Amino acid sequence: MRRTRAEVDATLQIAKLNAAELLPVVHCLGFGPGAGAAAGDFCLLELEPALCQQLEAGHSLVIRGDKDEQAVLCNKDKTYDLRTADTSNMLLFIPGCKTPDQLKMEETHCNIIHTEIFGFSNNYWELRRCRPKLKKLKKLLMENTYEGPDSQKEKDSNHSKYTTEDLLDQIQASEEEIMVQLQVLNACEIEGYWRILEFDYEMKLLNHVTQLVDSESWSFDKVPLNTCLQELGPLEPEEMIAHCLKCYGKKYVEEGEVYFALSADKICRATAQMLLQNAVKFNLAEFQEVWQQSVPEGMITSLDQLKRFVWREANHRCITH
């Protein structure tokens, strides 16, 4: 049933409202035939202004999570928890509804607008910034570590591999956060799939590099990329040599040439891990002696390099991984 202007004025009088203080345009709301059915078909999402601007600019927001996980919402670089919030006021869905500010800017010939309510809700989703859920990322990549191009495992297509799209589907984090964590894990992209190197293969690559540095009498602070690739290319894929340098060094350019400054701490830590990985327990003094003998000449080992990596017994005489 549509209201007339006289009925609207009568309602204003009963409500003791002065029509002169209101906009001349009146919205008359009414529930459409499908409003009740639509109530559970839509969800309202409250967004901060920055996220609204991203949507208006054509960017996407993605909800991620398996059935047994609490859903999160991600944009390109942030992750948000999705929480349901209840409200005591009924929220109405009104397509094409105009706000008072919009009505002020328009001239209308009819001062009564009959508007159909399409649906309603008593709750909405709100967002809370949260840390990305990245533990699953390492778990997935460790299912099938990379042992080198000649490994029998690489010839077996049954082992799991993950592309960037696969990881975006399964990891509850934004794309940027996932990419940063892949760097933290020293993962590399091989034939379109993200892989973590098997530790023994990683050490094999590192030994090739350190032996070349020693034979060429280079400084560990200035290891030339191109020469490494030329010398070690016949032994291992060039992209693996470059990846090893990236994992254990810092890249810089000098006079147009690319160099890497290798980190003594990282190399010493990896050497310690190699010594301890098969040892149940190691006498501390013996370990320190063997460890120092195992690292490249010129590097100094220190137990400070192994913080959060090894455990020492209370008497400090034994060490274990």
When pLDDT is cut at 50, 70 and 90, the band that residue 39 belongs to is low
Amino acid letter, residue 247: C
- Provide the pLDDT for residue 308: 72
| DSSP notation for 163-184 | -HHHHHHHSBS-HHHHHHHHHH
Among 27-36, 58-67, 173-182, 232-241, which is the least confidently predicted range? 27-36
* DSSP β-bridge partners for residue 126: 83
- What share of the chain in percent tops pLDDT 70? 92
| DSSP notation for 29-73 | EEE-TTHHHHTTT---B---HHHHHHHHTT---EEE--TTS--EE
User: Does residue 138 carry a pLDDT above 90?
Assistant: yes
- Provide the pLDDT for residue 49: 92
* Mean pLDDT over each residue of the chain, to the nearest integer: 87
- Provide the pLDDT for residue 306: 87
User: Does residue 1 carry a pLDDT above 70?
Assistant: no
- Provide the pLDDT for residue 268: 96
DSSP 8-state secondary structure symbol assigned to residue 306: G
User: Does residue 319 carry a pLDDT above 90?
Assistant: no
When pLDDT is cut at 50, 70 and 90, the band that residue 234 belongs to is very high
Residue that wins the pLDDT comparison between 83 and 1: 83
- Provide the pLDDT for residue 144: 93
Q: Which of 185, 100, 81 is nearest to 140 (CA)?
A: 185
- Provide the pLDDT for residue 82: 92
Contact 113, 106 (CB under 8 A): no
CATH C-level class of 199-262: mainly alpha
pTM of the full predicted structure?
Answer: 0.80
pLDDT tens track for 90-136:
888 888 777 777 777 766 556 787 788 877 888 889 999 999 999 99
When pLDDT is cut at 50, 70 and 90, the band that residue 317 belongs to is low
When pLDDT is cut at 50, 70 and 90, the band that residue 13 belongs to is confident
- Provide the pLDDT for residue 197: 97
Q: Where are the domains of the chain?
A: 5-129, 135-195, 199-262, 265-320
When pLDDT is cut at 50, 70 and 90, the band that residue 259 belongs to is very high
Among 14-18, 25-29, 179-183, which is the least confidently predicted range? 25-29
- Provide the pLDDT for residue 23: 76
Interval 13-32 mean pLDDT: 80
pLDDT tens track for 188-201:
999 999 999 999 99
DSSP H helices in the chain:
5-14, 35-38, 49-56, 100-104, 135-141, 152-155, 164-170, 175-184, 199-216, 225-232, 238-248, 264-276, 284-294
When pLDDT is cut at 50, 70 and 90, the band that residue 207 belongs to is very high
